[in-house]
Amino acid sequence: MIPPTYAAKLAALTARADDGRFALTVRPGTGVRYVPHPLQAVFAPVTQNVVLLAWDATYKGSPWGDGLVCDAAQQVPATSALLDHASRVFDLVDLRRSASGMNSVPGPSINMP
């Protein structure tokens, strides 16, 4: 069961991903203690009961994803933060594509009556 604290975020990311290809993985009992992620310092594990949270998606035709390790007790807030991060990754992809003209939509000509 997905907690309501991030169910809406997960649904929004799934709707945004190509063909709904957004996956969230929770791997308990992992031997991994650290991954290079911007949020890792915030959710650094302090107990032996850790989980690895990861997301992967296809967005604008390219694969994306990352993850972080946290204490099992911090799984819900860490997952919410990770989903926020995934949304920002998608936003950054859109921004980069827009800046390069890949997302440009033809508009009306200035000379139109």
Question: Model confidence over 48-79: pLDDT tens digits?
Answer: 999 999 999 999 999 999 999 999 999 999 99
Q: Cα–Cα distance between 73 and 51 in angstroms, integer?
A: 9
pLDDT number for residue 2: 62
Residue 90: pLDDT over 60: yes
pTM: 0.83
Percent of the chain having pLDDT more than 70?
A: 86
Asked if residue 52 lies in contact with residue 27, where contact means CB atoms within 8 angstroms, the answer is: yes
pLDDT number for residue 103: 59
- The whole-chain average pLDDT of the chain stands at 86
Residue 91: CB atoms within 10 Å: 11
Domain boundaries in the chain? 4-96
- Angle between helix axes 4-16 and 75-99 (nearest 10 degrees) is 30
- Where is average pLDDT lowest: 32-36, 73-77, 99-103? 99-103
